[in-house]
Structures are given as C-alpha cells and as structure tokens.
Amino acid sequence: MDVAAASPDDLDHPANLEAGRRLFAQPCEFGLGVTELAQLPPADLPEVAFAGRSNVGKSSLINALTGRHHLARTSNTPGRTQQINLFDLGGRLVLADLPGYGYARAPKDAAAGWQRLVRDYLRGRSVLQRVCLLIDARHGAKASDREIMGLLGESAVAFQAVLTKSDLVGAGELADTIAQLQRELERTPGAHPEVIATSARAGAGIERLRAALAALAEAE
C-alpha cells in the first residue's frame, strides 16, 4: 500500500506513523493562555483540544507528544492549569491544553469559571477538529467524563477517548477497561470508535496518537 492509499484510521500503517513523526518533529511553541473566549486568536489553523479530569495528565501527554519536557507545565496538584493554553505546532496544528474538570484545589467560584470556559470553548470553537478526551486508565470513565461526552455529542464535536497512565495497570485490566469504554462509545454521538491507550512516562501509544492527530493538521 502506498502513502496515498493509507487509511487515516489505520494508525499502525507506516505512512501514518511517519506523518505523525514528521508533524511532531516540528517546533512547538507556546502561543498564549486565555481566561475568556474573547481572548482567543483568529481561527487560522485547525485545533485539537486535550480535555480531562484534573490531574489526568493532559500537560504530561502534550509534552510526550512534542518531545519537550517542559512545554506544558505539569503538577501533582489538581487544578494547576487555570486557563486554555494554546501551542502552535509547526504552523500546521494548534494544541489546546484545557483546564481540568472535576476536583480542583481552588476556590469554588474560580473552578466554576474554568468549567464554564471549557464548556463554552468546546461548544463554540469553529476550528476545533477533535477533542482528545483523556481518561485515567486506573479508574476508567467517571460521571464527569460522561457529562463531557454528552456535551460534545450535543455540540457535534468529534472526540477520541485517550487512556493515560496505562503503564500503571496490568495488561488484562487495561484490555477490560478499553473494551468497556469502546462499548460505551458505540452509543455516544461524535465518539471515535478506537480508544488509544497511552503512557507519557513509558511512551506507550504516543506514536499512534501522533498519527491520529497528523490526519487533522494543515497539509504540508
């Protein structure tokens, strides 16, 4: 099969893996952080957003994808990301690191403001091509994850479930979590059918997620 014939859904195809490698080998720079939608820049490039519960590992995953240890700030304290942080990947794709939902060690009014910002962004950003919905592999989907899934379905926003910290569970438990989540996604509007299991620390699934995102980027 040649490059042109590679299906974008075949994440293990050498052509798609190479496209992902090339994309994420490009410089990735922090653009800006916004605390309200009016601060968002013009919609010039396709965007991919990383959403998930507080401390699920959004920033760590972005760092692993881009090969940069300190591009996105990481913390063991839930609620550290308090704005939408935008990163320009080689002038071809924008990565949006969203504030976590669920538990956050912050005043309730501040946390509520972040949640409104996230929901308004997910509903109204025209260039948003896909949401990577990050779910901790140790716990599976929680009620707050399902709430976001429902919001994305209502807003006709495509999303892909991405398990994080997959190195912290056994192979059998991981397979069961993936199978259960995939069954749930079959009934969820807007959900990509495949669950990608990743580990920012061990590197598992990073190449496959790069391949998936490369299909959404501006052409070279």
In this prediction, residue 76 carries a pLDDT of 42
- Selection from 215, 210, 93 nearest residue 162 by Cα: 210
Residue 2 lies in a domain: no
Residue 34 is classified by DSSP as E
Residue 116 belongs to what H/E stretch? helix 108-124
Q: What is the pLDDT of residue 107?
A: 45
For the chain, the first-to-last Cα distance in angstroms comes to 21
**pLDDT recorded at residue 50:** 95
Residue stretches of the chain with pLDDT short of 50: 1-3, 74-80, 104-107, 110-111
Domain count, the chain: 1
Q: Which domain holds residue 122?
A: 8-214
In a domain, 167, yes or no: yes
User: Is residue 3 a part of any domain in this protein?
Assistant: no
Q: Measured between alpha carbons, how far is 100 from 114 in angstroms, rounded to an integer? A: 8
Quote the CA–CA distance of 159 and 164 in Å, as a whole number. 15
Q: Is residue 136 part of a domain?
A: yes
91 Cβ contact list (under 8 Å, min separation 6):
26, 45, 218
pLDDT the model gives residue 12: 94
Q: What is the CATH number of the domain that holds 74?
A: 3.40.50.300
User: Which pLDDT value is given to residue 80?
Assistant: 46
Asked whether residue 74 is domain-assigned, the answer is yes
Query: Residue 59 is encoded by which pair of tokens?
Result: 């920033």
